[in-house]
Amino acid sequence: MLFGIPSSKKPNLYILGIPWDNSSSFRRGCAEGPKAIREATSEELYNSFNEDLVNLAEHWSYKDLGDIKADTFEELVEKVNKTVKEHYNGELFLFLGGDHSITYTTFKAIEEASDEDFGLIYFDAHPDMYPEYEGDKYSHACTVRRLVEEGWVKRENVVQIGVRAPTREQVEFAKEHGVKIISASEIYQSPRVHVPFEKAYLSFDMDVLDPAFAPGVGNPEPGGLSTRELVEVIKSLNVEIIAFDIVELNPNYDYKGISAFAAAKIIREVLGRAAKTK
């Protein structure tokens, strides 16, 4: 059971696993992420309180919708869209990846199912704004660019946090399209973040954390956030959280569950934060 939160037939929190790993560009294995995260969020490890003493069990009841599997990206988009539309009625969604290309499918599905206007807060070491990567326009290295160019998110409603492996081309795209990039260096100076919108989808690539805190990722990049810094950023977010995802956890390269436990910490603190604002 998730942190001791009760399961329910009428939940206000849905969990959906998406073990998609087809666009991983370095180390494969993120398809095993949903299973590892579920194991790391067990009530056998944690009580139901977050750091700010929000009792998650008093605010949330959940239903785990299992995993979505697909042979092609087009099929994945269709299945995620169908599942979200069948269940979404303002409830909070937690998506477990999978590589970061799944965020294209989940953000798009929530946007289509919702009549609300919300932005994207994207935690990642990389900007993910290549026009294409290895011939794939929907690679995990292109997710933000696709969402912006296809109009699923307003360009001024994208904030990226923790970036430390940009390219000149991607930074220029961000400047031209009003995407705000907050570097890992800036978070090191101050973990308090202001975003220019009131509601948000949060996407957490586990490589936003330094490999010392999350070694089990597909594309590790030293010089990243500590788990403590990331928690402080989450606490500073004064937005209503519409949905969130955890992606790029690669158990094949994890060490004694360090990365999975960090993912569990992120989920617990986000649920606590969401309980205050939703």
Which residues on neighbouring strands pair with residue 159, listed in sequence order? Answer: 121, 180
Two tokens at 87?
């269940």
The structure's pTM equals: 0.96
Q: For residue range 207-227, what is the model confidence (pLDDT) as tens digits?
A: 999 999 999 999 999 999 999
Kind plus residue range of the DSSP H or E element containing 229? helix 227-236
Q: What are phi and psi of 19, to 5 degrees?
A: -80, 60
User: Which has the closest alpha carbon to 227: 253, 204, 199, 193?
Assistant: 204
Q: How far is 142 from 156, CA to CA, in rounded Å? A: 18
CA torsion, ordered 65, 215, 261, 263, to nearest 10 deg: -50
**What is the per-residue pLDDT for 142?**
95
- Name the nearest CA neighbour of 104 among 176, 69, 154, 153: 153
Overall average pLDDT of the 40-53 stretch: 89
Token duo for residue 139: 């690679």
Could you report the per-residue pLDDT of 101-152, keeping only the tens digit for each?
999 999 999 999 998 899 999 999 999 999 998 889 999 999 999 999 999 9
The pLDDT tens digits of the residues spanning 127-139 come to: 999 999 888 999 9
Give the mean model confidence (pLDDT) for residues 169-192.
Answer: 96
- If one counts every other C-beta atom within 10 angstroms of the C-beta of residue 66, the result is 11
DSSP 136: B
pLDDT in tens, 54-109: 999 999 999 999 999 999 999 999 999 999 999 999 999 999 999 999 999 999 99
